[in-house]
Amino acid sequence: MVAKKRIYLDHAATTPTDPEVVEAMLPYLSDVFGNPSSIHSFGQEAKSAAEEARDKIAALIGARCEEIVFTGGGTEADNFAIKGTAYANEGKGNHIITTPIEHHAVMETCKFLQGRGFEVTSLPVDRYGLVDPQDVKKAITDKTILISVMHANNEVGTIEPIAEIGEIAREAGIYFHTDAVQAVGHIPVKVDELGVDMLAMSAHKLYGPKGVGALYIRKGTKLISFMHGGEQERRRRAGTENVPAIVGLGKASEIAQREMDAEAKRLISLRDKLIEGLMERIEHSHLNGLPTRRLPNNINVSIEFVEGESMLLNLDLEGIAASTGSACSSSSLEPSYVLLAMGLSHELAHGSLRFSLGRETTEEDIARVLEVSPRIIAKLRAMSPMLQSGT
Amino acid sequence: MYSEQVMEHFMNPRNVGEIENPDGIGHVGNPVCGDIMELYIKVEDGTIVDAKFKTFGCGAAIATSSMVTELVKGKRVAEALKISNRAVAEALGGLPPIKMHCSVLAEEALKSAIDDYLNKSKRSENERTS
């Protein structure tokens, strides 16, 4: 078999680390090893590198640098925001409003709290995965202490009306957290325009290293520390800073700020080409999520009569890496809860396929997916009992 | 994730399709769990002479369907009934633990096709004797 060029279209899962990011990190894995808490020059070098990174992240999301807390990733940032506000504001109430399409990091954290005296309202979403801000308004009670709605959905790419919800939260005086892991670095995210009090982000979704993220915490927000120990991160997250990773996140943020607009435009054109091409070439296929108000890199389609994992394996054999909401790709046997919440049938949820594009995606890659996919789907449909011969 | 044998059967599944006027059909699974198998058998003088399948499901579901059809061909009905899900999985060089249910489904599809055959032959026998 001739080795084919591998095509990675799973950037929503993780992105390759930008070589510029790797280069920026390298000195901090060797020569510049000091502990930022040390007052000698070794420590201060490391400290200034971390602070420079903080400035870059703050600039990317329009925050002040003291409002950025480094975390061990997006999941930690979400946990920190939700548990932190819940336990710091127990005196005010015990009600949390969220959605059924959140990432596990938010959903499971809310479930954890639900079993411990908190009440959680999960809002409905429409067939595109959109939350209605009016539903948020209606769900608010005098016990509500936190609203958590994701910025952009990781599976279907739908961008939520965060600014509108932010306004409602502000009027009601309720803390508002958004999981912006899929959005930061890909679409413009400015904390003041969105009216959020907390925002979670992750480095490895924007060409940075894994195991590092950040939580934006608006000045004055009352929440308990995530880690207790030393005085790092203004006592909000104790533990010696992961300086190389933080430097990587800073560099990734700087590159994102520099390239986002042009890159988003480029990806939108590739995205729409792929969506249109798939719809044209494959009968009984449907786009999941909104056609335009979606992440520039996200394509999510449901293909009738075939199951996602079998499509994924065939694509992988062709060197194309994608993702699916089918149960068969997880250990749970339940298909994507996001697609089910949007009202898709189990069959369509099992038949979903997500391509998420990135910086190294080319026109040729899209052409190759469009060339290969119809063949794979025809092969699988030929053995599907759900498609009776002749239909 | 999958053994070489699973991938081989997944890529080149044996006995895909339907049998015209089959002697037994097994239909198991549902869209909720994400796997649906249809298994057709042709029986002559108590021996399964042909088996075909149609499957909606993951790689393991397709590979186990393919393998079970291979295993039953040429077997006496009574022997075929003894084929367990473990035997199907073993013939494929094993399955990841979370995919063992696919082999269970393959066994169930086979049993259901044989049941269908036995019921049909009982019925025609009754018709003959009455």
Name the architecture of domain A19-255. 3-Layer(aba) Sandwich (3.40)
Q: Report how far residue A281's alpha carbon sits from residue A262's, in angstroms, rounded to the nearest whole number.
A: 29
Domain ranges within chain A, ordered by starting residue = 7-15+260-385, 19-255
Give CA separation, A59 vs A3, A64, A168, A242, B127, in Å. 43, 8, 25, 20, 84
- Residue B22 in contact with partner chain A when CB distance is under 8 A: no
Q: Report how far residue B19's alpha carbon sits from residue B26's, in angstroms, rounded to the nearest whole number.
A: 12
Would the CB atoms of B56 and A335 count as touching at under 8 Å?
no
Cα B116 from chain centre: 13
Active site residue B102: yes
pLDDT tens track for B104-120: 999 999 999 999 999 99
Name the architecture of domain A7-15+260-385. Alpha-Beta Complex (3.90)
Q: Report how far residue A273's alpha carbon sits from residue A367's, in angstroms, rounded to the nearest whole number.
A: 9
- Identify the residue whose tokens are 């506000």: A85
Does this complex have an ipTM over 0.90? yes
pLDDT at B38 over 70: yes
pLDDT at B124: 83
pLDDT at A391: 41
Question: Which tokens is A352 given?
Answer: 């979903």
Q: What average pLDDT does this structure show over B12-37?
A: 93
Catalytic residue among A313, A328, A370, A387: A328
**Nearest CA among A374, A316, A324 for reference residue A344:** A324
B31 falls in which pLDDT band (50, 70, 90)? confident
Would the CB atoms of B27 and A385 count as touching at under 8 Å?
yes
Under DSSP, the state recorded for A33 is: -
Q: What share of chain B in percent tops pLDDT 70? A: 99
Q: Report how far residue A366's alpha carbon sits from residue A310's, in angstroms, rounded to the nearest whole number.
A: 20
Catalytic residue among B17, B18, B30, B33: B33
pLDDT tens track for A191-237: 999 999 999 999 999 999 999 999 999 999 999 999 999 999 999 99
Query: Which B residues 69-108 touch A at CB under 8 Å?
Result: 98, 101
pLDDT at B123: 85
Are the beta carbons of A289 and A338 closer than 8 angstroms? no
If chain A, 391 residues long, is cut into consecutive pieces of 10 residues, what is the mean pLDDT of each piece? Answer: 82 98 98 97 98 98 98 98 97 97 97 96 98 98 98 98 98 98 98 98 98 98 94 95 98 98 98 98 97 96 96 96 81 84 95 97 98 97 81 41
Instruction: Output phi, psi for A178, to 5 deg.
Output: -130, 135
Instruction: Say how many C-beta atoms besides its own lie within 10 A of residue B96's C-beta.
Output: 14
Beta strand A352-356 pairing with A298-303 = antiparallel
Q: Report how far residue A125's alpha carbon sits from residue A99's, in angstroms, rounded to the nearest whole number.
A: 8
| H/E segment holding residue B116 | helix B100-129
**Testing the interface with A: which of B27, B32, B69, B105 to mutate, by most A Cβ within 10 A?**
B32
Are the beta carbons of A24 and A50 closer than 8 angstroms? no
Query: Cβ contacts (< 8 Å) between B35 and chain A: which residues?
Result: 307, 328
Nearest CA in chain B to A327: B34
pLDDT at A329: 56
**Buried (b) or exposed (e) across A251-265, using 16+ Cβ within 10 A?**
bbbbbbbeebeebbe
Flag whether the pTM goes above 0.90: yes
pLDDT at A3: 63
Min distance B99 CA to chain A CA atoms (Å): 8
pLDDT at A308: 94
Please, what's the largest Cα pairwise distance for chain A? 78
Beta strand A68-71 pairing with A213-217 = antiparallel
- Residue B34 in contact with partner chain A when CB distance is under 8 A: yes
- Angle formed by the axes of helices A41-61 and A243-281, to 10°? 30
